[in-house]
Chains A and B, each alone.
Chain A
Amino acid sequence: MNYGPLVFLAAFFALASSWCGFVLTPQLQIGRLQQTNTVGGAASRYPVARPGLAQQGMEVYRANGCAYCHSQQVGQTGTLLEIALTEAGTNQAATIAALRKLAESAPDQPARLTLLVPLPPGLSNAASATILEGLPRTFLRSSTREAANAAVKTLNATSAKAQLCIVPVGPDLARGWGKRRSVAEDYLFDLTVMPGSQRVGPDLADLGSRQPDANWHLRHLYAPRLEVKGSTMPPYRFLFEKREIKFRPSPEALALPDELAPGAGYEIVPKPAANALVAYLTALHADAPLFDAPRTLPPSAGTPASTNAPVVSGASATNAVPTNAPAK
């Protein structure tokens, strides 16, 4: 035990083992990931490289250390299996009866199927019709995959169209920070991967989906408490410049309330770095359903007529669909 070479060998093998474990193997396993197909519905390639301005924005994000306060990874604690009806079919009474029967099928066991919509006994035909209006709607929640599949079969037999939905759940997702857990594929095309380690501020993994408005982001960067009451974020006024209005106001100028307005004859205009950063923030999406993080898109996703949400242009479209994909 008194030889230097022995110490060297001991340390060498210890470090070599951890090097193989946490450098070599991760590179072989996740460093070589390729684009995959998304699952469910219209399959597309995922992930897609971000547009150029957003990639510049990532450099602004890195340089200013945004990752010290914002994580970019959401977790989930489990998945729910829900059964939605997409079409009521012709025999509505049978559908209602089947739903009721499914929920009551095993009273002695812990409920494997729970009814999410109250179906009081002795519903009139008109009442049943109202319940089955406004489809698609989620009716049942299942605790096992088998029970859910059987329920879908039973409901389809009543001429209705039922669909099994996989809904990831967890505190992060309940906050609206994402729609499924983050997986290694999400970071594939990030030049610098910054998953973050702290949540001094909210998680940003799916920020572009919940706040696609670029002007909101610009105002929030300039004066955080203007947009979020009680925010603890420091302002990033150095990403903006105060400019004299020459002939006419710039279309890019921030719309600010009087107490923050720069004074008559002046305007606050974002510098290129601010625009790039906002392009990056609005391009943050991690919602594509993947094989290892499945979720079912809401049944209404393909039918614009049934939704009253405005179509999100720009950011989500560029991220979700490659430009050279065939039009659907």
Chain B
Amino acid sequence: MSEISSPSPPSAANPGGLVCSPAPPAEIDASCRPPLVVLFLCAAVWLVIGSAFALIASIKFHAPEFLADSAWLTYGRVRPAGANCMLYGFCMPAGLGVALWLLARLGRTRLVLPGLVTVGAVCWNLGVAAGVGGILAGGSTGFENLEMPSYAARLAFLGYLMIVVWGALTFHQRRERQLFVSQWFLFAALFWFPWTYSTADLLLLTFRVRGMAQAVIAWWYADNLLVVWLGLVGLATVFYFVPKLTGRELHSRYLALLTFWMLILFGSWGGIPASAPVPAWMPVSSAVATGLGVIGIVAVALNVQGTLGGQCSKLLTHPSLRFIGFGVVAFIVGGVISAAGALSEVSHVTQFTWFTVARGLLNSYGFFAMVMFGAIYYIVPQLFGIEFPSAKLVRVHFWTAAAGILLLVVPLAAGGVVQGLKLRQPEIPFTDIAKGTLPFLRASTTGDLLIALGHLMFLANLAGLAVRFYRARAISAWAAATAEIKPAEARP
């Protein structure tokens, strides 16, 4: 265990040798442990906080007077606060943690400077905390998915840079020169976010562009984060874990590379809604790109199916695989729905409705968060070298999360379609339409509730494991420190 405390890069261990031997997995895991524990534990805490906000926002559709006298907890602040907890509190740090571990494991090298990565993780979480507080205090920037006030978002961004610089160096120092497809995805994701975020910060918050150009850039940023970044990291995880946990080869490297190209070429052109009051070429090219993106989704489906050898029941064999399998299905369904939504007949019904919310949740939660749960449930016991306190809780978490997502997404999507069809008929008064969505929204509250329960289980399991590990170490350290000095060790 002594190598944990020595964050020296592997090259220092072999000063003169150009030919470096691969680091053993246990050493790699040990080098990853401090930053990943911070990233994953904080992510789990943000999940719980975020689902509490989501529940408050959802309850307001049962009773508009609920917590109405508090400015901090008004719907328009609680909802973005919850969404930011999910996206920046959970999805991104969990994705970064998994990415670091995958880069180290696939490169067969220890994580470079884990101490500084840990500092970066702390910095990121402080930024998110300031950002969520800022939103609740009324400091939201007003741009969807970029609500955190700039001071907070910049602090988090600094943390991101501190994490990915060492991630990129880990990639550079890999001992295994042959690249696995996951590494393509991860390496692209690492620098994708700095570019999109710095553009959004500079042009939306620092030197503001005027008029609708703001909205277009905000849509571009959100699309590149939610579709491309989450897609790259999530698919890298899928392509690593599905072959590994089923003990088979990845079906086709070329299909995976096709997915990579489709995602970065077409995914990055999506995001402009069909209704946007901007010159028509923007929503049209966005719709075309989203439609073409279906190629990449089909490639994922073929690849995963081929890897499983046609036996999809294999996904149920390992608890992590269940989560990842669910994520793959959600990715495919969500992608097909997005591509269908690119048709103007569909988008004219679904625009401005809860359907778009349901589609977003299917991507960020049904796909990405579920894949991350699966990966974290696999990685964390490896880091600590001990199993989870309760394996049963992992299984229960899967079923609550799966049921929760279905209960959240299906009512919202159905309610959105009804709402959209009614919005097209001007003779139906608007209050009737708004009231007509309430049963659907109220049904989705049960989904929020189940998801929140699942998050508590996740946090309990993760924290229980960390407590067990660090208590054992503390006890042994205490025993060593307070052990009687043997005469042989004492100075003469």
Q: Which residues of A contact B (CB under 8 A)?
A: 1-4, 7-8, 10-11, 14-15, 17-19, 21-23, 26-27, 29-33, 62-69, 71, 73, 75, 171, 174-175, 181-202, 224, 228-238
For the complex of A and B, 7 pairs with smallest distance between CB atoms: A65-B76, A174-B426, A31-B213, A63-B138, A18-B268, A11-B188, A14-B264
Q: A18-B220, A231-B431 are in contact. Are A7 and B187 (CB under 8 A)?
A: yes
Cβ-neighbour of B177 out of A2, A30, A191, A235 (below 8 A): A2
Cβ-neighbour of A68 out of B79, B199, B217 (below 8 A): B79
Q: Are A15 and B195 neighbours in the complex by a CB distance under 8 Å?
A: yes
Cβ-neighbour of B356 out of A2, A29, A183, A197 (below 8 A): A197
Q: Which residues of B contact A (CB under 8 A)?
A: 60-61, 64-66, 68-71, 74-77, 79-80, 138-144, 171-172, 177-179, 183-184, 187-188, 191-192, 195-196, 199, 203, 208-217, 219-220, 224, 257, 260-261, 264-265, 268-269, 271-273, 275-279, 282, 285, 352-354, 356-357, 419, 423-426, 430-432, 434-435, 437-438
Across-interface contacts of A3 in B (CB, < 8 A): 179
Cβ-neighbour of A232 out of B144, B282, B353, B438 (below 8 A): B438
Q: Are B177 and A64 neighbours in the complex by a CB distance under 8 Å?
A: no
| Min distance, Cβ A7 to any Cβ of chain B, angstroms | 5
* CB-CB nearest in chain B for A236: B74
Q: Are A232 and B435 neighbours in the complex by a CB distance under 8 Å?
A: yes
| Min distance, Cβ B432 to any Cβ of chain A, angstroms | 8
Q: Are A31 and B209 neighbours in the complex by a CB distance under 8 Å?
A: yes
**Whole-angstrom distance between the alpha carbons of A244 and B69 in the complex?**
19
Cβ-neighbour of B424 out of A171, A182, A237 (below 8 A): A171
Cβ-neighbour of A183 out of B172, B217, B277 (below 8 A): B277
Q: A30-B211, A224-B64 are in contact. Are A238 and B74 (CB under 8 A)?
A: yes
Cβ-neighbour of B209 out of A14, A22, A27 (below 8 A): A27
Across-interface contacts of A32 in B (CB, < 8 A): 210
**Whole-angstrom distance between the alpha carbons of A236 and B275 in the complex?**
29
Q: Are B352 and A238 neighbours in the complex by a CB distance under 8 Å?
A: no
29 pairs, A vs B, C-beta closer than 8 Å: A1-B179, A11-B192, A14-B261, A15-B196, A17-B268, A22-B216, A22-B219, A23-B199, A26-B212, A26-B282, A29-B279, A31-B209, A62-B140, A65-B79, A71-B352, A182-B277, A184-B211, A184-B278, A186-B277, A187-B211, A189-B210, A192-B143, A193-B214, A195-B212, A201-B434, A232-B61, A232-B435, A234-B65, A237-B68
**Whole-angstrom distance between the alpha carbons of A32 and B211 in the complex?**
9
Chain B interface mostly: helix
Q: Are A23 and B71 neighbours in the complex by a CB distance under 8 Å?
A: no
Q: Are B352 and A199 neighbours in the complex by a CB distance under 8 Å?
A: yes
Q: A7-B184, A68-B76 are in contact. List 12 more A-B contacts (CB 8 A).
A: A15-B268, A18-B220, A22-B269, A26-B213, A30-B212, A64-B71, A65-B79, A67-B142, A187-B211, A200-B437, A232-B431, A236-B74
**Whole-angstrom distance between the alpha carbons of A68 and B54 in the complex?**
14
Q: Are B438 and A235 neighbours in the complex by a CB distance under 8 Å?
A: no
| Min distance, Cβ B456 to any Cβ of chain A, angstroms | 26
Cβ-neighbour of A15 out of B171, B192, B217, B432 (below 8 A): B192
Cβ-neighbour of B269 out of A21, A66, A69 (below 8 A): A21
| Min distance, Cβ B147 to any Cβ of chain A, angstroms | 8
Across-interface contacts of A26 in B (CB, < 8 A): 212-213, 216-217, 278, 282
* CB-CB nearest in chain B for A183: B277
Q: Are B64 and A232 neighbours in the complex by a CB distance under 8 Å?
A: yes
Q: Are B75 and A198 neighbours in the complex by a CB distance under 8 Å?
A: no
Q: Are A171 and B211 neighbours in the complex by a CB distance under 8 Å?
A: no
Q: A65-B80, A68-B79 are in contact. Are A73 and B277 (CB under 8 A)?
A: yes
Q: Are B212 and A187 neighbours in the complex by a CB distance under 8 Å?
A: yes
Q: A27-B203, A69-B75, A198-B357 are in contact. Are A4 and B192 (CB under 8 A)?
A: no
Across-interface contacts of A171 in B (CB, < 8 A): 423-426
Cβ-neighbour of B353 out of A10, A190, A199, A201 (below 8 A): A199
Q: A65-B140, A236-B74 are in contact. Are A230 and B435 (CB under 8 A)?
A: yes
Q: Are B69 and A237 neighbours in the complex by a CB distance under 8 Å?
A: yes
Q: Are A198 and B356 neighbours in the complex by a CB distance under 8 Å?
A: yes
* CB-CB nearest in chain A for B360: A197
* CB-CB nearest in chain A for B274: A75
Q: Are B215 and A187 neighbours in the complex by a CB distance under 8 Å?
A: yes
| Min distance, Cβ A292 to any Cβ of chain B, angstroms | 9
**Whole-angstrom distance between the alpha carbons of A198 and B426 in the complex?**
17
Q: Are A238 and B71 neighbours in the complex by a CB distance under 8 Å?
A: yes
Q: A26-B217, A171-B424 are in contact. Are A235 and B276 (CB under 8 A)?
A: no
Q: Are B64 and A21 neighbours in the complex by a CB distance under 8 Å?
A: no
Across-interface contacts of B80 in A (CB, < 8 A): 65, 68
Q: A15-B195, A22-B220, A27-B203 are in contact. Are A198 and B354 (CB under 8 A)?
A: yes
**Whole-angstrom distance between the alpha carbons of A73 and B60 in the complex?**
25
| Min distance, Cβ A207 to any Cβ of chain B, angstroms | 13
Q: Are A11 and B264 neighbours in the complex by a CB distance under 8 Å?
A: yes
Across-interface contacts of A184 in B (CB, < 8 A): 211-212, 277-279
* CB-CB nearest in chain B for A64: B76
Q: A27-B209, A67-B142, A192-B142 are in contact. Are A22 and B217 (CB under 8 A)?
A: yes
**Whole-angstrom distance between the alpha carbons of A174 and B210 in the complex?**
30
**Whole-angstrom distance between the alpha carbons of A27 and B430 in the complex?**
35
